[in-house]
Amino acid sequence: MVTGLGLISPVGLDVPTAWANVLAGRSGLRAISLFDPAPFRVQIAGEAWGFTPTDFMTAKEARRADRNVQFAIAAARQALAHAGLAITPANAEAVGVLIGTGAAGIWTYTAQQRVMDEHGPGRISPLLIPMITVDSASVQVSILTGAQGPSFGLASACSTGADALGQAFEIIRRGDADAMLAGGTEAAVTPLGIAGFDQMNALSRRNADPAGASRPFDKDRDGFVLSEGAGVLVLEALEHAQARGAEPLAEVLAYANTSDAAHLTNPDPQARQAARAIARALAKAGLAPADVGYVNAHATSTPLGDVFEVRALRQALGAAAERLPVSATKSITGHMLGAAGAAEAIWTVLALRDQILPPTINYATPDPDCQLDCVPNAARPAAVEVALTNAFGFGGHNSVLALRRWG
């Protein structure tokens, strides 16, 4: 069960603010402010605008954490407060942490590289290594909350957040924890991050129109907009949540993951393994395609990726795909990389709870290869019991979560 939500994002530094902005279709994409973007072809991003670490942690805690870990700490504390879950000596061993990331401590790594280049190896921080590893967010959240259950990090590119939630779900299902703090975090809006993704021709270069740059499923899409943030959810066994009087927000029904095993960056054009991930999630949940009422799409606004996802949905869902609402919230938030799957799971939980579907904004020119109901440009009330959220990552990672409305 999902019992708590925490979020740091370009559209808000807490869940209520961010959800209101998503439903209103207010873009979180602007000109880069974290560094001078003038030398770069790409000058736009989705930053965690206004984020001040000491609003969420002590100055000492902030100094010992890379930016991505600061986001994770903030989101984890929000999620625990939302769930009303206190970690105490009595339950600490039954609460775990699984927060993934793609680029990990890229801010710290590049800053410390400059220190070594300018001042020599003796000036490197003794905390460099623990600050840049993939498990750093999980380690620090575990230390700061006292959670002593299963704790590790994982990385699967843009599928990371969804995989962290899926693996946390499996940990609880097999009885290795009663509750998990799980999700993804990312702080890759750096000079190296922007340059690297741009060299792959993955990013939109609509610098004059940041709010209109991310346009999934639109014929004129030209790449994604890099964003940062963290999404952390509290997952609990139903019995554990009920025993402490918690009210679930949604039920996790199933998780499935497959690999294209095809290319370092490009998806399999036939979308066979992505379709299999969707079909496996449905089968594991005991669902038929017609049972699905909404899909929160991975849809990043890349020419290849959006077509790939539409093909996967049509293969897996058949005729049901033609009438199914499929919205792309990256049109509003940009692509939060390792945090994207967790943020989009949050939107999916809230869509089920509030019975309203977030929109795909910037949809102006239909693409014949992406003809689905993409909830264009405005949120839509809808009666939805079951939803899917997709996450497809560079390297052929395909991850799908199936969620059900609670109550």
- Ramachandran region of residue 271, left (φ > 0), alpha (ψ -120 to 50) or beta? left
Of 82, 335, 370, 374, the catalytic one is 335
Please tell me which residue in 158, 240, 370, 397 is annotated as part of the active site: 158
Q: How far apart are CA 342 and CA 299, in angstroms?
A: 15
Q: Which residues of 295-334 are buried (b: 16+ CB within 10 A; e: fewer)?
A: bbbbbbbbeebbbbbbbbbbbbbeeebeebbbbbbbbbbb
Extended strands (E) in 21-119: 30-31, 44-45, 95-100
Identify any residues that bridge with 259 across adjacent strands, giving them in sequence order.
397
User: And the tokens for 128?
Assistant: 């460099």
Residue from 380, 75, 375 nearest 231 by CA: 75
Spot the catalytic one: 119, 240, 263, 298.
Answer: 298
C-alpha span between 216 and 290 (Å, rounded): 24
Look up residue 336 and give its two tokens.
Answer: 């939060």
Q: Regarding beta strands 386-393 and 397-405, do their DSSP bridges make them parallel or antiparallel, or are they unpaired?
A: antiparallel
On the CB side of 232, CA atoms within 13 Å amount to 37
Angle at which helix 340-354 crosses helix 160-173, to 10 degrees, equals 70
Tokens for 355, please give them. 């019975």
User: Which tokens hold the place of 330?
Assistant: 């990256």
Strands (E) located in 65-221: 95-100, 151-152, 179-186
Q: Is 82 a catalytic residue?
A: no
CB atoms closer than 10 angstroms to residue 115: 14
Active site residue 335: yes
For residues 284 and 257, the answer to whether their CB atoms sit within 8 Å is no
Between CA 225 and CA 192, with CA 140 as vertex, the angle to 5 degrees is 30
Q: Is 298 a catalytic residue?
A: yes
- By annotation, the residues acting in catalysis are 158, 298, 335
